[in-house]
Amino acid sequence: MIYNEEFETLPREVLEALQLKRLRQVMERVYHTVGLYRKSFDEAGVSPEDLTSLNDLHRFPFTTKGDLRDNYPFGLFAVPMSNIVRLHASSGTTGKSTVVAYTRRDIETWSELMARCFVAAGLTRNDIIHNAYGYGLFTGGLGAHYGAEKMGASVIPMSGGNTKRQITILQDFGPTAICCTPSYALTLAEAGAEIGVDMRALKLRVGILGAEPWSEQMRSEIEDKLDITALNIYGLSEVIGPGVSMECIEGRNGMHIFEDHFIVETIDPDTGAVLPPGEAGELVFTTITKEAFPLIRYRTRDISRIMTEPCRCGRNFFRMERVSGRSDDMLIIRGVNVFPSQIESILMAIEGLEPHYQLIVERTGTLDTLTIKVEVSDKIFSDEVRMLQGLERRISKDIKDYLGVTAAVRLVEPKSLQRFEGKAERVVDKRRS
Amino acid sequence: MKAEQISIFMENRPGALEQATRVLKDAGINIRALSLADTSDFGILRLIVNDVEKAKEVLKASGFTVRRTEVVAVEVPDRPGGLHSILESLSKENVNVEYMYAYVERSGENAIIIFRFDQTDAAIRILTQKGFTVLPGDKVYSL
């Protein structure tokens, strides 16, 4: 099913013409209203009039997280506060939080995008959506909430936390869909099983999961433990919040980018060079309809790949592959680039291992060392030392074989690693302190 | 003729062992024999207790990873060469000992040793044929 058939199935050339028209308008507007853009365009010797084709966008300067931080809190807003109806702020895991703003029309746009996501997940107005994304400054909760209401489903505004209560509501209200982070979906599955609830017997049918990188193996695990179809949703508060792209239930392979509102590019994170579609690189977004907080060529730090192949669902938007990591999450261990998601894939490929792990990076003398703590589960616990040591060695070997880094593996007691209700933070980098 | 042992996964850190023994104490469970296999980062605590089912239940409820394992309790003559005679008859038949440890109590004039074999049934058959006494589980728990 498609929520906005007219726009979501636009032929490529019509879509690109629309993109160019909208891009020119937004460029013109930010040049005259936002100091940063006037300055950076002038410095780069480019002007909005230079945009005669979409490729001309490549000549414009990037906007970075640092620019957002330098203009904290309201320096990049393109409309007066009297036109702004909502503020959100990012969690600020990598520094000061960044503040984003919405006009009434921006909220309308965002709600429609989230409505498109829910319909892409196969939901209708007959569905009940359990929204366990955090409500508040984080865009997840309210973004999903407005989208659910817009498409007419019933929404349960659960927010994050209070896991036992969530399980009671899941049992008693019988929601058919859940929105949360993938790690929280697993936390719920585990917590439910622990108190004797058959989590597969719930009415849940589909999960709209995102806000952190995850793996295909984790998807299988969630689908198995909750008996649902788990779909990937992508978004970031700077661009609009959740609803920048969404996997369709028909294809279940890559997330359709809502290109009538965003222009996507992939670049080489080191050189900034634009990569052809199909090559993995850092995603860069330009918002072409946002009023309060337009962003030009925003570097997301998210590593992905654009898929241009047509999709069976009928949407004409390009898809992006699941984010394989963030370029600032990337660990460089003795010169080798490693994403936590790669380690997760390896762990999850080993029968019986639970996706509860922690990566600890330390520097001993001049050498980096990586230690991976993995929880022992009933399935893998053997009474014999050599079996457990064999498992540790197997994990180390797989990591060495696939990623080329040496890691010490330590089995730890179950439930001894932290559980996450929002975004999972699995890396402890002691080199920074 | 088999006895059941409780195996518990433990991290190698202060207090890990104490937590397990506290859980057993609070449940009124008596430890009859034990061994601790250790590596640099984890250990496996193996216990013979007076109530296997209850021990497993309370340990699991306290968050431990627990497993029941089949072991064999054998009476060993308390004289030079006593243990050797047992091992000799087993090695002839190619039965491997994964690990073993001594029981606290004696059975009459004999010591008791807990064995974990790679082939439990074969080991019991060989030992019984050779005239050694293999103690059944209920007898072991309540000695």
Chain B hits for A415, CB-CB cut-off 8 Å, are 63
Tell me, what's the pLDDT at A211?
Answer: 85
CA A417 from centre of chain: 23
C-beta separation of B124 from B117 below 8 A: no
Question: Rounded distance, CA B70 to CA B91, Å?
Answer: 20
Q: Domain B71-142 sits in which CATH superfamily?
A: ACT domain (3.30.70.260)
Q: B65, B99, B118: best mutation site toward chain A, by most A Cβ within 10 Å?
A: B65
**Is the predicted ipTM greater than 0.85, yes or no?**
no
Provide the CATH number for the domain formed by B3-69 in this structure.
3.30.2130.10
Distances (CA, A) of A164 to A168, A188, A190, A296: 6, 8, 11, 43
Tell me, what's the pLDDT at A94?
Answer: 47
Task: Write out the two tokens for B107.
Answer: 């059975």
Rounded average pLDDT per 10-residue block, chain A, 433 residues: 96 97 97 96 96 96 91 95 94 66 98 98 98 92 98 96 93 97 90 94 97 86 96 96 97 97 95 94 97 97 94 96 80 79 85 86 82 89 89 92 89 84 77 60
Question: Rounded distance, CA A151 to CA A124, Å?
Answer: 7
Chain A hits for B99, CB-CB cut-off 8 Å, are 384
The dihedral sign for the CA sequence A67, A70, A71, A72: positive
Mean per-residue pLDDT, B70-79: 90
Domains and CATH numbers, chain A: 1-327 (3.40.50.12780), 331-429 (3.30.300.30)
Q: Closest CB to A385: pick one of B5, B39, B66.
A: B39
Question: Rounded distance, CA A125 to CA A150, Å?
Answer: 10
β strands within B12-51, DSSP E:
31-38, 42-49
Q: What is the four-CA torsion angle of A344, A350, A352, A354, rounded to 10 degrees?
A: -10
Cβ–Cβ gap B9/A381 under 8 Å = yes
Q: Does B18 touch chain A (CB under 8 A)?
A: no
Q: Which residue of A has its CA nearest to B69?
A: A383
**HSE-up (13 A, CA, CB side) for residue A127:** 23
Burial A111-135 (b: 16+ CB within 10 A, else e): bbbbbbbbbbbbbeeebbbbbbbbb
Q: Which residue of B has its CA nearest to A389?
A: B39
Q: Does B44 touch chain A (CB under 8 A)?
A: yes
Cβ–Cβ gap A413/B46 under 8 Å = no
Cβ–Cβ gap B41/A389 under 8 Å = no
Cβ–Cβ gap A383/B67 under 8 Å = yes
Q: Which residue of A has its CA nearest to B97?
A: A384
Cβ–Cβ gap A382/B64 under 8 Å = no
Question: Rounded distance, CA A171 to CA A198, Å?
Answer: 10
Beta-bridged to residue A179, according to DSSP, are: A131, A208
Q: What is the DSSP string of A323-358?
A: P-EETTT-EEETTEEE-HHHHHHHHHTSTT--S-EE
Q: Is B115 helix (H, G, I), strand (E, B) or coil?
A: strand
Q: Closest CB to A388: pick one of B42, B63, B99.
A: B42
Q: For chain B, which residues make up each domain, given as ranges? A: 3-69, 71-142
Task: Write out the two tokens for A421.
Answer: 């209700």
Tell me, what's the pLDDT at A423?
Answer: 65
